[in-house]
């Protein structure tokens, strides 16, 4: 190739505890080229870009910048080396003004007699905004007054102000409107024409194919292939992304979307600040999938159903085994023919748990598990009421409970007293499942259940979920990974802007592109 190499990664490896996120990846990034980086969630594409931009240290390997060794200690360090990145999540600080955000960490350049020259900072900020044709904005406004798209534009202006030689865009565009996207596309093309290097990370294949000069495909932490624009072929790229070929036993193999008749949960006309008129039913023995973009409100549905988030309007009903009043308990005794379920309002987390609902948060490590506590302590925490005898929870009881759950779910650990924080992602997830299954939960609300989990463990998770479905559990999976929803759900609800936009019944012919139309 005749284009000069700007940055080279040599055999980069990145491990998070036992999970290998990036495995032996070597990429050359050239000047005058827009390089696309594509892969499914968890393929390692964000991790590799985080290493290049100094957000994460690498475990092993080498980075070369124009032939010299390069070891960024922080994003600021990377910026000094003319590498700027726009991150997936919000990268601005709400309380600070636009100008302060743009020059965050680089206030030194405005020092005048030991104090910051605000006026000059604001002038420079206006110049930065002019780079993206946003020069008319009041740069003294605090960033929290802007909407998401405007904040992203601020970040872009910040990145461009420092005249990057390498401009990295990490999945920014999915959250932007059409105009915002066009703007980024233009900027990327302009930089390329100025002989700069651009790295564009996304899982939106059509967009990448339109913009990029070459595409690198990653899968499960490995670099699979790099394809030049001339050889772009949608089918081939998709295949190399999925690669492992979704065989029968990865997801469930049947296409029978049937489930029990009994309604286990019902959401009636729920409104919150992020949700609009949500109605849904979850049945016994059903895997219900909810898909959408991160900001679509699907994560909030999980929280509302678990009683953690109070709806402004509407109600969540759970059908539990506990009769709500003595009168009904008496009546039930007389009938006595069948296990009867009683509708109850989910008022808070306590009523949810008492009615056998379990919830695993998307932020499992921060919200569902206690990293510092042992496996045993995590497993028993939600089941203490069940284990207590006369108000006392005896150690022997806890031990046998924990041992049973660990064995059932095949948790790999040095023992039940090992802190959960030391476990691998898959084993952590097993503990968070075990916490609810052990507590006799019959309804499981799982938000992004396979996030940060190895492929091998994913398979066991899917098998477990399928087995639970067959045992009559009602399972709600909220996921950003469409293949997972298609592969596992009996029914899929797609969300957009706080509303349910469509419903799909399990079918052999369901495809991602059919669902995406209702998401974006």
Partner 1 sequence: MSELSIPLFIKKNQNTLIQYAGLLLVLIAFTVMTDGALLSDFNIRTILKQLVVLFTISVGMVFVFSHGGMDISAGAVIALSSMVAIYTINAGAPLAVGVLAAIAVSVACYMVNVIISNLFGLMAVISSLAIMFVARGLVTYQVSTSSAKIALTDTGVLREIGRSMPIIITIIVLVGVVGYVIFHFTKIGKHSKAIGDNPLAASQSGVRVKYTKLISYAIAGVLVGCASILSLSRSAVVSENTGMGMEMDVIVALVLGGMALNGGSRSKMSSAFVGSITYVVLNNGLVMVGVAPEVVSLIRGIIFLLVVFLLLRRPRGEVMPR
Task: Please pick, from the candidates 3, 5, 10, 19, the single residue that binds partner 1 as defined by CB under 8 A.
Answer: 19
Nearest to 362 by CA among 308, 287, 442: 308
- Footprint (CB under 8 A) of partner 1, residues 80-139: 88-89
Q: Shortest Cβ distance from residue 405 to partner 1 (Å)?
A: 14
- Residues whose CB is less than 8 angstroms from the CB of residue 391 and which lie 6 or more positions away in sequence, other chains included: none
Q: Shortest Cβ distance from residue 290 to partner 1 (Å)?
A: 18
Stretch that binds partner 1, among 78-86, 183-191, 383-391, 508-516 (CB under 8 A): 383-391
Query: Binding-site residue total for partner 1 (CB under 8 A)?
Result: 47
Cα-based angle 11, 17, 21 (whole degrees, multiple of 5): 40
DSSP state, 391? T
Give yes or no for a contact between 478 and 446, defined as CB atoms under 8 angstroms apart.
yes
Task: Please pick, from the candidates 21, 38, 478, 493, the single residue that binds partner 1 as defined by CB under 8 A.
Answer: 21
Stretch that binds partner 1, among 183-191, 223-231, 328-336, 348-356 (CB under 8 A): 348-356
Give yes or no for a contact between 452 and 427, defined as CB atoms under 8 angstroms apart.
no
Question: Can residue 365 be called a binding residue for partner 1 (CB under 8 A)?
Answer: yes
Tokens in use for 197? 């290097």
Question: Can residue 16 be called a binding residue for partner 1 (CB under 8 A)?
Answer: yes
Question: Can residue 56 be called a binding residue for partner 1 (CB under 8 A)?
Answer: yes
- Burial (CB < 10 A; 0-12, 13-18, 19+), residue 265, is buried
Give yes or no for a contact between 164 and 80, defined as CB atoms under 8 angstroms apart.
no
Nearest to 442 by CA among 472, 486, 398: 472
φ and ψ at residue 314, rounded to 5 degrees: 85, 180
Q: Give the nearer residue to partner 1 in terms of CB position, either 332 or 393.
A: 393
Q: Give the nearer residue to partner 1 in terms of CB position, either 33 or 447.
A: 447
Stretch that binds partner 1, among 12-20, 93-101, 234-242, 321-329 (CB under 8 A): 12-20
Question: Can residue 371 be called a binding residue for partner 1 (CB under 8 A)?
Answer: yes
Question: Can residue 384 be called a binding residue for partner 1 (CB under 8 A)?
Answer: yes
Q: Shortest Cβ distance from residue 346 to partner 1 (Å)?
A: 13
Q: How many residues does the chain have?
A: 520
φ and ψ at residue 56, rounded to 5 degrees: -130, 140
Task: Please pick, from the candidates 186, 350, 410, 511, the single residue that binds partner 1 as defined by CB under 8 A.
Answer: 350
Q: Shortest Cβ distance from residue 471 to partner 1 (Å)?
A: 23
Question: Can residue 41 be called a binding residue for partner 1 (CB under 8 A)?
Answer: yes
Q: Shortest Cβ distance from residue 332 to partner 1 (Å)?
A: 25
Q: Shortest Cβ distance from residue 349 to partner 1 (Å)?
A: 6
Tokens in use for 283? 């049945």
φ and ψ at residue 76, rounded to 5 degrees: -65, -40
Q: Shortest Cβ distance from residue 57 to partner 1 (Å)?
A: 8
C-alpha of 508 from chain center: 26
Q: Shortest Cβ distance from residue 262 to partner 1 (Å)?
A: 24
**CA–CA separation, 429 vs 403, rounded Å?**
16
Q: Per-residue contact track with partner 1, 141 to 170, x per CB under 8 A?
A: ------------------------------
Q: Shortest Cβ distance from residue 466 to partner 1 (Å)?
A: 25
Q: What is the sign of the dihedral through the CA atoms of 52, 56, 62 and 65?
A: positive
Question: Can residue 421 be called a binding residue for partner 1 (CB under 8 A)?
Answer: yes
Cα-based angle 454, 513, 217 (whole degrees, multiple of 5): 45
Question: Can residue 440 be called a binding residue for partner 1 (CB under 8 A)?
Answer: no
- Residues whose CB is less than 8 angstroms from the CB of residue 83 and which lie 6 or more positions away in sequence, other chains included: 7, 52, 53, 54, 72, 164, 165, 166, 168
Stretch that binds partner 1, among 3-11, 182-190, 231-239, 372-380 (CB under 8 A): 372-380
Helix residue spans in 104-196 (DSSP H)? 118-130, 148-161, 178-193
Give yes or no for a contact between 322 and 339, defined as CB atoms under 8 angstroms apart.
no
Question: Can residue 392 be called a binding residue for partner 1 (CB under 8 A)?
Answer: yes
Question: Can residue 25 be called a binding residue for partner 1 (CB under 8 A)?
Answer: no
Task: Please pick, from the candidates 27, 369, 477, 478, the single residue that binds partner 1 as defined by CB under 8 A.
Answer: 369
Task: Please pick, from the candidates 97, 374, 424, 429, the single residue that binds partner 1 as defined by CB under 8 A.
Answer: 374
Q: 């259940």: which residue's tokens?
A: 449
Tokens in use for 241? 């992304």
Give yes or no for a contact between 139 and 125, defined as CB atoms under 8 angstroms apart.
yes
Binding site for partner 1 (CB under 8 A): 16-17, 19, 21, 41, 46-47, 50, 55-57, 88-89, 306, 308, 349-350, 353, 359, 361, 365-374, 377, 380-382, 384-385, 388, 391-395, 421, 425, 435, 451-452
């Amino acid at each position: 190739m005749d284009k000069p190499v700007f940055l080279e990664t040599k055999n980069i490896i990145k491990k998070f505890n036992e999970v290998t996120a990036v495995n032996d990846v070597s990429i050359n990034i050239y000047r005058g080229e827009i390089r696309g980086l594509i892969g499914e969630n968890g393929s390692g594409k964000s991790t590799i870009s985080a290493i290049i931009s100094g957000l994460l240290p690498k475990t092993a390997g080498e980075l070369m910048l124009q032939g010299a060794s390069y070891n960024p200690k922080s994003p600021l360090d990377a910026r000094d080396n003319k590498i700027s990145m726009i991150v997936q999540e919000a990268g601005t600080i709400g309380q600070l003004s636009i100008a302060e955000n743009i020059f965050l960490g680089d206030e030194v350049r405005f020092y005048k007699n030991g104090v910051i020259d605000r006026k000059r900072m604001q002038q420079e900020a206006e110049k930065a905004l002019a780079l993206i044709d946003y020069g008319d904005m009041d740069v003294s406004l605090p960033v929290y007054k802007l909407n998401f798209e405007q904040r992203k534009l601020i970040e872009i202006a910040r990145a461009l102000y420092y005249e990057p030689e390498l401009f990295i865009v990490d999945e920014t565009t999915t959250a932007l409107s059409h105009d915002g996207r066009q703007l980024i596309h233009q900027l990327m093309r302009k930089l390329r024409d100025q002989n700069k290097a651009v790295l564009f990370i996304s899982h939106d294949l059509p967009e990448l194919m339109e913009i990029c000069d070459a595409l690198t495909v990653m899968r499960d932490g490995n670099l699979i292939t790099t394809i030049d624009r001339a050889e772009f072929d949608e089918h081939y790229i998709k295949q190399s992304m999925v690669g492992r070929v979704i065989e029968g036993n990865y997801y469930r193999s049947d296409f029978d979307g049937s489930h029990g008749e009994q309604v286990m949960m019902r959401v009636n006309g729920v409104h919150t600040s992020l949700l609009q008129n949500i109605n849904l039913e979850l049945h016994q023995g059903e895997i219900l999938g909810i898909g959408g973009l991160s900001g679509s409100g699907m994560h909030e549905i999980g929280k509302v159903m678990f009683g953690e988030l109070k709806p402004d309007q509407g109600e969540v009903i759970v059908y539990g085994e506990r009769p709500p009043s003595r009168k009904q308990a008496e009546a039930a005794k007389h009938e006595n023919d069948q296990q009867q379920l009683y509708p109850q309002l989910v008022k808070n987390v306590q009523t949810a748990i008492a009615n056998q609902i379990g919830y695993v948060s998307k932020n499992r490590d921060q919200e569902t598990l206690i990293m510092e506590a042992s496996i045993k302590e995590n497993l028993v925490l939600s089941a203490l009421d069940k284990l207590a005898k006369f108000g006392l929870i005896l150690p022997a009881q806890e031990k046998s409970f924990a041992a049973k759950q660990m064995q059932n779910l095949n948790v790999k650990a040095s023992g039940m007293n090992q802190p959960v924080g030391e476990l691998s992602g898959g084993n952590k997830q097993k503990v968070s499942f075990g916490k609810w299954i052990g507590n006799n939960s019959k309804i499981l609300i799982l938000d992004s259940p396979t996030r940060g989990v190895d492929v091998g463990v994913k398979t066991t998770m899917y098998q477990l979920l399928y087995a639970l479905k067959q045992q009559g559990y009602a399972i709600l999976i909220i996921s950003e990974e469409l293949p997972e929803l298609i592969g596992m759900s009996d029914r899929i609800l797609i969300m957009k802007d706080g509303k349910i936009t469509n419903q799909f019944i399990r079918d052999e012919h369901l495809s991602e592109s059919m669902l995406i139309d209702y998401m974006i």
